[in-house]
Amino acid sequence: MSQIHKIHQQLVSKEISCTKLVQERLDLLKSNTHNTVNSLLDSLALDLAAKVDAKIAKGEEIGLLEGIPFGIKDVYMVQGTLTTASSDLIKNYKSSYTATAIQKLLDAGAIPLVKENCDSFGHGSSSENTIFGAVKNAMNTDLVAGGSSGGSAVNVAKDYTVFSIGGDTGGSVRQPAGYNKIYGLKPTYGRISRYGLMAYASSTDCVGPIAKSIEDIRIVLNVMSGKDVKDQTTYPSEEISKENILKSEEIKTVGYFKNFIESDAIDVQVKADFLVSIEKIKAKGIEVKELDFFESDTLVSTYYTLAMAETASNLSRLDGTNYGARIEGDNLKDTYSITRSENFSEETKRRIVGGNQVLSQGFSDEIYLKGLNLRDQISENFEKDFKEVAIILSPVTPSSPPKIGDSLKDPLAMYLSDAYTVGFSLGQLPTLTVPQGTATGLQITAAKNNDELVLKFANFLKDTL
């Protein structure tokens, strides 16, 4: 059920006041022990709530998102608020402007409550790479929340926020959504402006809504979508209507990647549950095709090679000159390197160094350019697949969430756990995690710009599985 519609009705009928609603959620966030909060936006939120209450008291109509409390991953600029990327380097950095996607939500009247904990600069799959303490899973606090948008996923799962805005570069919305049994969408690359989202890997970075229902994902997606002159990779898109995504008759064929399911790395239960889901879909008269795809290690290596190269470049600006925790050295160069060595986490340094390695002479042809070539082949493969099937279905992860502490010990294992999410990032395809089918959910993927079809199939699965 849509939380947004429900709360909207409660506000309109004066069953609850917006101030009370916001205060309750702020209290829950403040007292929570899952480490989801980097900073609370309490005075801003309460000021906005009072305005919504005044409007309702005057008998004025309010919009659907007006007064709805939401959370923001701490990598989005919101003017005047701390934006730390969960890092020491910019732990005191204050945003001077507001991200386009967030501004659109503010313009629609939604109320921001919190800047949410995440892996530093998006570098991680467990939300342990953070100066604010590892985020704990909503269902079992011994387990990781997933990442990098772990705080956002847990806040939604625990009803601390009605929806949250995460960021997905290689699975950072979809995987924590799966680990916490909620919905998380990575839209088609370019559907939502990245302006004001701190850049990790610019060619796959996506703004992604996390919520408890398909309808709430649809509402938030519609508000944030659209062309933005400040992000020239954006494109104009049509609004997705509520009615359109309730009918799924046009979906006649679904595919899945045989090698994902036959891999040695997949947990036996995840595999068995996935195959049961496939049988249920077949029983509804949908044709299911097995598809060939690249090996997991090729996908993961291609993604990480390109993402590291891009992050090495994007994070080179963080040298303590204009902002950030500068540590003075003997000269400018020394200041840069001390500032960066002391303030970046081990994982962030690993990715920056890896990125500079592949971009340097002697490595770039053999690794970086080959990675770009592989990415093109992956995209071609998707184009071919979507001539045969309307939807590709996959597990979100090969296994259940690891225990807190395990991922940091073994970075390679953490990279490999992204095997099922990174391919769709490289292809820039719309992909939604739904909390059904396996212990960590299922991913629904459609061809580029076909976000509507993804939501349609999600509704079908909700009724089928």
Of residues 410 through 429, those in contact with another protein by CB under 8 A are: 410-412, 415, 426, 428
Interface positions, 183-212, toward another protein (CB under 8 A): 189-190, 203
Compute the least distance from the CB of residue 335 to another protein, in Å.
4
Among residues 374 and 404, whose Cβ is nearest to another protein? 374
Task: Please pick, from the candidates 10, 39, 244, 335, the single residue that binds another protein as defined by CB under 8 A.
Answer: 335
The residue within the footprint of another protein, chosen from 262, 287, 290, 328 (CB under 8 A), is: 328
288: its two tokens: 């299911």
What are the residues whose beta carbons fall under 8 Å from the beta carbon of 109, sequence distance 6 or more? 48, 52, 62, 63, 65, 66, 67, 68
Of 30-38, 52-60, 127-135, 330-338, the window that binds another protein (rule: CB under 8 A) is 330-338
Distant-in-sequence, close-in-space partners of 83: CB < 8 Å, separation ≥ 6 = 74, 75, 76, 77, 90, 93, 94, 95, 115, 198
Give the residue among 168, 165, 167 at the shortest CA–CA distance from 155.
165
**DSSP one-letter code for 33:** S
Beta bridge partners, 208, equal: 166
Torsion over CA of 444, 169, 226 and 238, rounded to 10 degrees? -10
160 vs 304 by CB, closer to another protein: 304
- Give dist(CA 452, CA 218) in Å, integer: 9
Give the residue, chosen from 10, 379, 436, 450, that forms a contact with another protein under the rule CB under 8 A: 379
384 belongs to the binding site for another protein (CB under 8 A) = no
Of 57, 316, 388, 405, which lies in the binding site for another protein, with binding defined by CB under 8 A?
316
Q: Which is nearer to another protein, 17 or 301 (CB)?
A: 301
Rounded Cα distance, 299 and 419, in Å: 7
Cα gap 11→454, rounded to integer Å: 31
Binding mask of the shown chain, residues 90 to 119, with x at each position contacting another protein by CB under 8 A: ---xxxxx----------------------
Q: Between 260 and 415, whose beta carbon lies closer to another protein?
A: 415
| Window contacting another protein (CB under 8 A); options: 11-19, 122-130, 162-170, 296-304 | 296-304
Euclidean distance between CA atoms 37 and 162, whole angstroms: 15
Among 16, 54, 275, 332, binds another protein (CB under 8 A): 332
- Binding of another protein by 375 (CB under 8 A): yes
The continuous run of DSSP H or E covering 460 comes out as helix 451-464
User: For residues 256-295, which are near another protein according to CB under 8 A?
Assistant: none
The encoded tokens of residue 337 equal 């390197």
DSSP string, 244-310: GGG--TT--EEEEEHHHHH-TTS-HHHHHHHHHHHHHHHHTT-EEEEE----HHHHHHHHHHHHHHH
Q: Which of 333, 388, 403, 405 binds another protein (CB under 8 A)?
A: 333
Q: What angle do CA 173, 294, 372 make, to 5 degrees?
A: 75
Catalytic residue among 87, 120, 148, 417: 148
Active site residue 263: no
Q: Smallest Cα–Cα separation from 313: which of 231, 377, 368, 365?
A: 368
Q: Does 340 bind another protein (CB under 8 A)?
A: yes
Residues 386-415 that bind another protein (CB under 8 A): 410-412, 415
Q: Which of 49, 144, 220, 352 binds another protein (CB under 8 A)?
A: 352
280 is catalytic: no
Closest distance of CB 213 from another protein, Å: 32
Question: Is residue 463 part of the contact set for another protein (CB under 8 A)?
Answer: no
Contact indicator for 150, 117 with CB cutoff of 8 Å: yes
Going from the C-alpha of 433 to that of each of 197, 232, 258, 343, the distances in angstroms are: 21, 27, 19, 34
Spatial contact of 145 and 154, defined as CB atoms under 8 Å apart: yes
Q: Which of 172, 193, 296, 407 is catalytic?
A: 172
- Ordered alpha helix ranges (H), 74-115: 100-107
Q: Applying CB under 8 A, does 305 fall inside the site for another protein?
A: yes
Piece in contact with another protein (CB under 8 A), picked from 172-180, 227-235, 394-402, 432-440: 227-235
* Of positions 78, 144, 219, 358, contacts another protein by CB under 8 A: 358
Judged by CB under 8 A, the residue of 6, 30, 47, 80 near another protein is: 80
Q: Which of 370, 436, 450, 464 binds another protein (CB under 8 A)?
A: 370
226 near another protein (CB under 8 A): no
Q: What's the sign of the alpha-carbon dihedral 242, 248, 249, 253?
A: positive
Q: Considering the rule CB under 8 A, would residue 376 count as an interface residue with another protein?
A: yes
For residues 1 and 229, which CB has a smaller minimum distance to another protein in the complex?
A: 229
Measured in whole angstroms, how far is the alpha carbon of residue 297 from the centre of its chain? 22
Q: Which of 350, 400, 408, 436 binds another protein (CB under 8 A)?
A: 350
Residue 73 a catalytic site member: yes
Query: Does 60 engage in binding with another protein (CB under 8 A)?
Result: no
Contact 387, 291 (CB under 8 A): no
Of 41 and 439, nearer to another protein (C-beta) is 41
Residues forming the active site: 73, 148, 172
